[in-house]
Structure 1
């Protein structure tokens, strides 16, 4: 640790900012003003989480902060409250900029700012790819206080939107910083850092501290306080973690059995590719399980629509790529299924972090075939615990095989029909997963497929 960086670990009394007992800390006791305490209460935030309790007092003192905490620990509120309090004290447009790695996370962060800042009149704009730039230019022309963005689209606006700049910026936040850099946003972030004021506060929040994040920290933060409230790689205590081991050819059969066993509970099923996510969604629908896909090749409207249907409970199963694995706070997810076990152990941590959030319990079940044993062992080594085998009835599962085989054939046919339609549509550059399939379209294609076979 460099001499210019203060490191805090829980229990150091100088960081408690007047709270006589860490266990009894409240938002008021760590310095949050009355209006924001009331907003927290309305949103059901009864007491600060560890990362909030330990970082907010430093942020309120005007220090740069590096916050390292496991996923689901409340990092968004940890940086939103100090920014909103500073905005109340010194209101000005384009006051803060928050960079996030995914579009969905950007919208979620903006919702948190708007909910917490509604009582003090905070205005927020979201600037992400996949959305019309003109509507974003109009939103930026209204001079919002907080801009939440993905780095690529922010850079587009800095270069092409007349009259838009970040000259008045007082706060810069890089959320999920490790993922920002994993997604090759590094050059864009470097360009943005060159055109924003040097005199600013910077918050860098991440679940993991990588060498890339450390490099970014040195380039963008001044005398930061490092708050670390968890081990480098960890999962929450209330998360029950299991695996199911079976031959690769029975993978779909086990998924259908598991979702039937967990009927009525909300589940996120993670697949590796957009095409696989789409295929699994069609397969499950053919078997009467209402699943909705979410992946990076869908339009922004459809991605948000899928998320909202799942959040509201209109769909109990979300089938997703890793676009849904980071930062998204979806209330009460009961089960995470790693249909495709991730190649990188930290992706496992972020995926399973979609459940057992904010003190709730949850289950995570990873599918392990003969090709995945080494990946499972690597994950167990990183998280420091052995996964238990999830009890299942092999005979009962294999009874489903015939029905699943039929559903697989229909899903494959539907996928081919959809791809053929797109080819005729002439939209160049659009990939397989770009269009979300409606239930009515899937049914039409199913009927057509049956006619073709007869």
Structure 2
């Protein structure tokens, strides 16, 4: 999805040996692209099956399975074996061979895991404190919603941090742009939703920061698995508010041990409050302006991946704020 259908149809007409696609877009081509068929398919791979089913792709998967030949090799990969995945397994696999890497959820020893217990209303201040303390390190910040990811990216950029968002409301082209800029080091902070928490091809991430806890404890493992890979060291910090205690306790129970606290002197965090408040207002103004333009039916113009598109007045305010914050950080 997110890429022009006609352009894809031209590529499919060249009879590629391998096609990688989302269920919805594959079905679109099966139904609308003349000459496209998977009747001669030899291998069908269903990757991230649990996520596909959680995103309500059951209908599309059924249509794809119906269009496939019965004589084929099918590979189904899933991080968790849910009831929906078991149902799909029965429907799509014949005499399956099950390969289970590990039934125990655990993290690697080279990963430092810490938490911060903070008042919910001051989460942005503590997030800024962490970014400041660990400046220069590549980091992925996980948020629960697309709106939060976008807001945090705008807020951190106005504070002078090289942040960029990655979430489901961005076009495919902008998601790829965000990911590539992060991998290239042009942006060192990637703010993502759980859409991006699995399957990201990023070789080296120094820090994973959970701004909001995942509803499923197992998703915590997938998030923090973005760092401390291939024997390298890494750090994961989870921000816990008064509303997250039960979720956090479930995570610790799953891990089998208590996490250490990340030190954050209150007096140092307090020094950031005024500046962070200004940055929050900048982000709110920006997002309101974008919503107004979309509702008015005007051309979509977004600062999702580049602050250079900012309105001149807002850009001037952001630059002033960045200078003031930089002087305080020295």
| Contact kept in structure 2, 1:172 and 1:201, CA below 8 Å | yes
Q: Which residue of 2 is the match for residue 138 of structure 1? A: 10
406-415 vs 153-162, which moves further: 406-415
Deviation beyond 6 Å, 4+ runs, structure 1: none
Which residue of the other structure, out of 173, 182, 186, is the alignment partner of 2:45? 173
**What are the ranges of 5 or more consecutive residues in structure 2 without an aligned counterpart?**
319-330
Q: Which residue of 1 is the match for residue 326 of structure 2? A: none
Q: Which residue of 2 is the match for residue 186 of structure 1? A: 58
Q: 1:216 to 1:356 in 2, by over 3 A?
A: same
Q: Which residue of 1 is the match for residue 91 of structure 2? A: 219
1:226-265 residue pairs with structure 2 within 5 A? Answer: 226-265=98-137
Question: How far has the Cα of 1:222 moved from its partner?
Answer: 2.1
Q: 1:423 to 1:448 in 2, by over 3 A?
A: farther
Paired residues, number: 318
Q: Which residue of 2 is the match for residue 281 of structure 1? A: 153
Q: Which residue of 2 is the match for residue 405 of structure 1? A: 277
Question: How far has the Cα of 1:152 moved from its partner?
Answer: 0.8
Question: How far has the Cα of 1:437 moved from its partner?
Answer: 5.5
| Contact kept in structure 1, 2:50 and 2:81, CA below 8 Å | yes
| Contact kept in structure 2, 1:242 and 1:364, CA below 8 Å | yes
Q: Which residue of 1 is the match for residue 194 of structure 2? A: 322
Kindly provide the CA deviation profile for residues 163-186 of structure 1, in whole angstroms up to 9, marking residues without a partner as x.
111111111111111111111111
Kindly provide the CA deviation profile for residues 313-349 of structure 1, in whole angstroms up to 9, marking residues without a partner as x.
1100011111211111211111111101111212222
SS of 1:225 mapped into structure 2: coil
SS of 2:20 mapped into structure 1: strand
1:22-37 residue pairs with structure 2 within 5 A? Answer: none
- Whole-Å separation in 2 of the counterparts to 1:447 and 1:199: 59
- Whole-Å separation in 2 of the counterparts to 1:412 and 1:275: 11
| Contact kept in structure 2, 1:299 and 1:435, CA below 8 Å | no
- The answer to whether structure 1 residue 391 and structure 2 residue 263 are counterparts is yes
| Contact kept in structure 2, 1:166 and 1:195, CA below 8 Å | yes
Q: Greater Rg, structure 1 or structure 2? A: 1
* RMSD of Structure 2 on Structure 1 (CA): 1.9
Kindly provide the CA deviation profile for residues 199-234 of structure 1, in whole angstroms up to 9, marking residues without a partner as x.
111111122211211221121122222221212433
Which residue of the other structure, out of 433, 436, 442, is the alignment partner of 2:304? 436
Kindly provide the CA deviation profile for residues 31-65 of structure 1, in whole angstroms up to 9, marking residues without a partner as x.
xxxxxxxxxxxxxxxxxxxxxxxxxxxxxxxxxxx
Q: Tell me the TM-score normalized by structure 2.
A: 0.91
- Whole-Å separation in 1 of the counterparts to 2:315 and 2:52: 44
- Whole-Å separation in 2 of the counterparts to 1:385 and 1:297: 36
| Contact kept in structure 1, 2:302 and 2:309, CA below 8 Å | no
Question: How far has the Cα of 1:198 moved from its partner?
Answer: 1.1
Q: Which residue of 2 is the match for residue 153 of structure 1? A: 25
SS of 1:296 mapped into structure 2: coil
| Contact kept in structure 1, 2:174 and 2:305, CA below 8 Å | no
SS of 1:363 mapped into structure 2: strand
- Whole-Å separation in 1 of the counterparts to 2:101 and 2:305: 42
- Whole-Å separation in 2 of the counterparts to 1:414 and 1:445: 11
Question: How far has the Cα of 1:244 moved from its partner?
Answer: 0.5
